[in-house]
């Protein structure tokens, strides 16, 4: 998800550190008068309960907007976890050929 956070200057460090901890990538930081605007890409799964965290980090002084930007490949351990968590009702069978595998990270 593309996230846009406006935060007071004194808490920018805390917010940016937190975004990094949430598998996020900071795209840009623009300084305004008293506030800074952070643009970042963060997975949706990390943003579900982000509003209270952001409030706690900034004393409620930050504002946030988010929108879907693009889908990215999840890390392997994350995939295994989320697949295990959900029901197993797939009805497909596929035969893989390892040499033909496509890495979507580059596409």
Partner 1 sequence: MDEIRLESIRNIALVSNVGAGKTSLTEALLYASGAIPALGSVLQGTTVSDFEPEELHHHGSASTSLLQFTWNQTAISLVDAPGALSLLGESLSALRAVDAVILVLNPGAGVRTELARLWARVQELDLPCLVFVNGLDKEGAALDSALDVCRTQLECTPIPMVLPVQSGSGFNSVIDLLDESLIRSGATSQKIERAAVPTEMEPAVKQARKQLIEAVAESDDGLLNRYVEQGDLTRDQLVQGLRSDILTRAFLPVYAGSALHNVGVWPLLNALVALLPSPTERTALHPVRGAHPETGQPCERKGRAEEPFSGLIFKTIIDPFVGRLSYCRILSGTIQADSVVLNGTRHVREKLGHFYTMIGKKHVAIGSAKAGEIVAIGKLKDTQTGDTLCHESAPIGYSGLGLPRPVLSFAIEAKSKAEIDKVSLGLHKLIEEDPTLEFVRNPETKDMVLSGMGQLHIDLALEKLRRKFGAEVTLHTPKVPYRETIKATSQAQGKYKKQTGGHGQYGDCWLEISPVARGEGFRFESRVVGGVIPRNFIPAIEKAWWRPCRRAGSADFLLWMCAWRSMTDPLTPLTHPRCHSRLPGRWPSKRRWKRDALFCLSR
**Residue 65 binds to partner 1 (criterion: CB under 8 A):** yes
- Is 15 within 8 Å of 29 (Cβ atoms)? no
CA 2 to chain centroid: 8
Residue 52 interacting with partner 1 (CB under 8 A) = yes
Place of tokens 């994350």: 78
Any idea what DSSP says for residue 13? H
Q: Does 104 participate in binding partner 1 (rule CB under 8 A)? A: yes
Which chain residues interact with partner 1 by CB under 8 A?
Answer: 1, 43-45, 48-52, 55, 59-61, 63-65, 68, 71-74, 76, 78-79, 82-83, 85-98, 100-104, 107
């Amino acid at each position: 998800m593309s996230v846009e956070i406006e935060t007071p200057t004194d808490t920018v460090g805390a917010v940016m550190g937190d975004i990094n901890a949430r598998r996020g990538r900071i795209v840009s930081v623009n300084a305004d008068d008293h506030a800074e605007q952070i643009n970042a890409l963060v997975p949706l799964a990390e943003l579900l309960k982000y509003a209270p965290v952001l409030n706690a980090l900034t004393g409620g002084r930050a504002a946030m907007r988010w929108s879907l930007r693009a889908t990215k490949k999840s890390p392997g351990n994350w995939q295994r976890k989320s697949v295990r968590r959900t029901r197993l009702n797939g009805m497909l069978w596929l035969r893989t050929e390892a040499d033909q595998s496509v890495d979507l990270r580059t596409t």
